[in-house]
A and B are shown apart, each in its own frame.
Chain A
Amino acid sequence: MKDRPAKIVCLFVFLALANSARLCAQAGANAVVAKATNAVVSVPLPAATNAAPVAQPVKPHPLTLIESDGPADFDLGGREVVYHDHVRVDSPEMKLSCEWLAADVPQDGGHVTNIVAETNVVIDATDDKGQKLHATGARAVYVYAVQNGATNETVTLTGSARVEYAQDVLTGDVINWDRAHNHLSVPNNPKMIIHENFNSPAAGANSPPATNPPANMTNLSPAFHRSAVDTNFPPAKSELVPERHDPLLDH
C-alpha cells in the first residue's frame, strides 16, 4: 500500500517517456535507457480487447500447430503433453519457439489452460492493430482461466525477460503479459529502453547529442534524471497510450 505513490509516479514517468518516444520516433533513433529499481512498470498495450463489444462475424475455429524435432510424451491419463527439442508453436496471433514445452490436453473441446515453455523462449505476436511484439526469456508460463465469467489469460516471462513492443524495449526479472487486457507489467527491477530520435526538432533543447547516446540512467539529460521516487509529475494523460484501470496499482 505504501508503495502506491511510487508506483503511480513511475507509471507517469513511463507514460511520459513512452509518449515522448512515440512522438519523436523515427528511423535511425538513438536509445534512452530508463531504469527504476523496485518499482512497477505497467504498459497498457493499445489493443481493442477491452473496448466496447462489437458484433464480430463468426470466424472458423483458429488452429494452433505445435511441432517438435524431438519426441513428444502424452500422458493421456493426466492429460498432459511434453515436447522436446526445437519446439515451435504457431497460432493465428502468436508464434513461440523453445527447447521444451509442456501443455495440458484440453477436455471436451476446451481451451488449453496451461503451457510452460523453457530454454530459449521466443514469442512473436501481433495485436489487433497489427503492432508486433517480440518477447524472449528463459521461461514462459501461459495460463488461461475463466472465473466468474471473467477471462484471465496471462503469459509470464522469467529469466532475462525482454519484450520489444513498438519501438520500445522492456526488460525485467519478470514480465507479465496480460493477454486478456493486452497489458504488460514488470513487478520488479524493470528497465525501459525507448528509441528516440534526438535529431528531431520535436526532441527539444534538453536532448543529448545524437552522436553520443546515453548508455544508462546516469548519462541522461537533467529532464531524464528525475527518478521515479523524486519526481512529482503531474497526472497528465498520454495521448497515445490510453489511460486504463491498472489492477497492479490499485491496492
Chain B
Amino acid sequence: MRHVTLRATCHLSLVTPLLAAGTVLFSAIPDGRTQPNGVQHASDFTSVEYFEPPHQQQMKSRLSGAEAQPQAGGLLVIRQLKLETFNPDGKSEIIVNAPECVYDTFNRVASSPGHLQAQTGDGKFRVEGDGFLWRQNDSFLTISNHVQTVIENAMK
C-alpha cells in the first residue's frame, strides 16, 4: 500500500499520475518548467508506504525529496532525498539521506554515484559512502565506495 503526496511550496496547478505501478498516486505541482516529455517538475514531495494489515495504519517507509525531476521510463531525479523506514510500532529504524539520486518508480530502486549517509533511528549506527543502490522492495542498500561505518557501543 503506497501513495505519494506533494506539498505545494509555490505553484499549484494540476495533478499528474506520474509514478506508475497502479497503486501509486502522485500529485505533481508544476513550477512552470515544462519537461520535453510533458511531465512536470515537482517539489517537496513525500511517498509513504504502509504496512499490511493489521498494521495498515503504520508507516513502513517514507521517501521524500526537495525536488523531483521526472525522466523518461518512470525515472525521477530526486534532490535532497530522505528515506525513513519504521517498524510496526512506529519507531524509526533507518534514515537515509542523499543529495541526489535517480529513483526508478517501476522497480522501486534508487541509485546515485554521489554521496549517501544513513543511520539507525537512534543514531548509534551511522554509515556513509559514495555511490549507492537502494532496493526498496527488500530494503537492501549497497554502498559502493569509501564506506565508513561508525557504531556506538559496538564492542567493549
Known interface pairs A74-B118, A74-B127, A76-B85; A66-B148 also in contact (CB < 8 Å): yes
Chain A residues with CB under 8 A of B85: 76
Where the two chains meet, the residues of B that have a C-beta atom closer than 8 Å to any C-beta of A are 85, 93-94, 118, 120, 122, 124-125, 127, 129, 138-145, 147-156
Q: Across the two chains, which residue of chain A brings its CB closest to B143?
A: A72
Contact across chains for B149 and A61 when beta carbons are under 8 A apart: no
Where the two chains meet, the residues of A that have a C-beta atom closer than 8 Å to any C-beta of B are 61-68, 70-77, 81, 83, 91, 93-94, 105-106, 108-112, 142, 144, 153, 179
Select one of B94, B124, B151, B156 contacting A76, CB under 8 A.
B94
- A63 CA / B153 CA spacing, docked (Å): 6
Q: Most A CB atoms within 10 A — which of B145, B150, B155?
A: B155
Smallest CB-CB A-B distances: 9 pairs: A64-B154, A66-B149, A76-B139, A74-B141, A72-B147, A61-B152, A77-B139, A64-B151, A109-B122
Contact across chains for A109 and B156 when beta carbons are under 8 A apart: no
Contact across chains for B150 and A65 when beta carbons are under 8 A apart: yes
Chain A residues with CB under 8 A of B143: 71-72, 74
Contact across chains for B151 and A106 when beta carbons are under 8 A apart: yes
Query: Nearest Cβ in chain A — how far from B108, in angstroms?
Result: 14
Select one of B147, B150, B151 contacting A68, CB under 8 A.
B147
- A70 CA / B7 CA spacing, docked (Å): 39
Q: Across the two chains, which residue of chain B brings its CB closest to A66?
A: B149
- A168 CA / B148 CA spacing, docked (Å): 35
Contact across chains for B155 and A112 when beta carbons are under 8 A apart: yes
Contact across chains for B145 and A71 when beta carbons are under 8 A apart: yes
Q: Across the two chains, which residue of chain A brings its CB closest to B148?
A: A67
- A67 CA / B146 CA spacing, docked (Å): 7
- A179 CA / B156 CA spacing, docked (Å): 9
Select one of B127, B145, B155 contacting A91, CB under 8 A.
B155
Known interface pairs A108-B122, A111-B153, A144-B155; A74-B140 also in contact (CB < 8 Å): yes
Query: Nearest Cβ in chain B — how far from A186, in angstroms?
Result: 23
Q: A75-B140, A108-B122 are in contact. List 17 more A-B contacts (CB 8 A).
A: A63-B152, A63-B154, A64-B151, A64-B155, A68-B147, A71-B145, A72-B127, A74-B142, A76-B94, A76-B140, A77-B138, A91-B154, A105-B120, A106-B154, A109-B124, A112-B151, A153-B155
Contact across chains for A75 and B139 when beta carbons are under 8 A apart: yes
Contact across chains for B149 and A65 when beta carbons are under 8 A apart: yes
Q: Across the two chains, which residue of chain B brings its CB closest to A153?
A: B156
Select one of A73, A94, A111 contacting B140, CB under 8 A.
A73
Contact across chains for A111 and B147 when beta carbons are under 8 A apart: no
- A206 CA / B44 CA spacing, docked (Å): 84
